[in-house]
A and B are shown apart, each in its own frame.
Chain A
Amino acid sequence: MKKNDIYLICGIILLIACSFLLIRIFRSEGSRVLIMVDGKEHKEFDLNDNITYEILHDDGEFNVIEIRDGYVRMVEASCPDKLCVKHNKIHYNYESITCLPNRVYVRIVGGEESELDAVAE
């Protein structure tokens, strides 16, 4: 190992720490759940809904999404790796669960907007 390698490692660790910090600072409460399939908008829910929703794909594949107490998680999926099912519950704005094999993308949206709406009402 050269001295430069150590600098490289330190630089990368710093970069990772900064990106985590930035994500933490800029995170805000979400208000809606956006489900996208194949890059197109599929369905939208309110984050305060308590529901279980199943996406059935044309090729027989499926994903089951649960929204409960303001948190969203993938309860079941037909994909081989099940990474989406193991994913932590999401709640904050811009957090997302992706199921690449089934091309499903679940994302929390519209944090600030909802607060403005609440004020307007």
Chain B
Amino acid sequence: MKSKKIALYGLFIALAFIFSYIESLIPIPFPVPGIKLGLANLVVVVAMYGIGMKESFVLSMVRILLVGFTFRDPSTLLFSFAGGIFSWLMMAVFKKLRLFSMVGVSIIGGIAHNIGQIIVAVIYVSNTGIIYYLPFLMISGLVSGTLIGILAALVLKRLYKYLLNEK
């Protein structure tokens, strides 16, 4: 069982890593820092429901570290970690509460990711004016969160039997 877990970790991290790469190739037409497709979040959501809470957190952190040192400037790591941790935390809480389906949890994750980044940006540039970006970032989080939630549900439906055997 342990080797299967290791294999799953490797598979998911590789997938999240590739998604981040694909995402870095797609230009975003909006001049607001922090707007992203959040493709890698798809892997985190699928892992959260398919493998486990703890595993999805490790996956998310390892991905951010790898991506920060390859496709992005390591100076953006701080923002990525803030977004990643806050997003995971909110998704974990709302998943436990069972108020929403995967789509709702994914939306909360997307928006929390942006809020986490904004908070760090406000501290980093030490100015509160950046908060004005928040409405734009919330739109981005809502749209990408919805799409990723729907996708994650579709993916999980097909992967369930392979993932859950593991425990």
A1 at the interface (CB under 8 A from B): yes
Tell me whether B100 and A4 are in contact (CB under 8 A). Answer: yes
Tell me whether B73 and A101 are in contact (CB under 8 A). Answer: yes
Tell me whether A83 and B146 are in contact (CB under 8 A). Answer: no
A9 at the interface (CB under 8 A from B): yes
Tell me whether A98 and B125 are in contact (CB under 8 A). Answer: yes
* CB contact list, B104-119 vs A, under 8 A: 104, 107-108, 111
User: In the assembled complex, which residues on chain B have CB atoms less than 8 Å from the CB atom of A1?
Assistant: 101, 103-104, 150
User: In the assembled complex, which residues on chain B have CB atoms less than 8 Å from the CB atom of A12?
Assistant: 107, 111, 138, 142
Write the nearest CB–CB distance from B70 to chain A, whole angstroms.
14
User: In the assembled complex, which residues on chain A have CB atoms less than 8 Å from the CB atom of B31?
Assistant: 83-84, 86-88
Question: For the complex, would chain B's binding face be called helix, strand, loop or mixed by DSSP majority?
Answer: helix
**Which of B81-89, B127-135, B156-164 participates in binding chain A?**
B127-135
| Closest chain B residue, CB of each to CB of A107 | B129
User: In the assembled complex, which residues on chain A have CB atoms less than 8 Å from the CB atom of B58?
Assistant: none
Interface range, B side: 20 to 34
Mask, A81-121, CB within 8 Å of B = 1, is: 10110111000001110101101010100000000000000
**Which of A13-21, A47-55, A63-71 participates in binding chain B?**
A13-21
| Closest chain A residue, CB of each to CB of B106 | A5
Which listed residue, A5, A39, A83, touches B126 by the CB 8 Å rule? Answer: A39
* Cα A65 to Cα B126 with chains together (Å): 20
Which listed residue, B33, B104, B139, touches A100 by the CB 8 Å rule? Answer: B33
Which residues of A does B touch, CB under 8 Å?
Answer: 1-2, 4-5, 8-9, 12-13, 15-16, 19-20, 23, 36, 39, 80-81, 83-84, 86-88, 94-96, 98, 100-101, 103, 105, 107
Known: A12-B138, A95-B132. 11 other contacts (CB 8 A): A12-B142, A19-B134, A19-B138, A23-B132, A96-B132, A98-B33, A101-B75, A103-B124, A105-B125, A105-B129, A107-B129
Between A and B, 22 residue pairs with Cβ closer than 8 Å are A1-B150, A5-B107, A5-B149, A8-B104, A8-B107, A9-B107, A12-B107, A12-B138, A16-B139, A16-B142, A19-B134, A19-B135, A23-B132, A36-B127, A39-B125, A88-B31, A95-B132, A100-B33, A101-B73, A105-B127, A105-B129, A107-B127
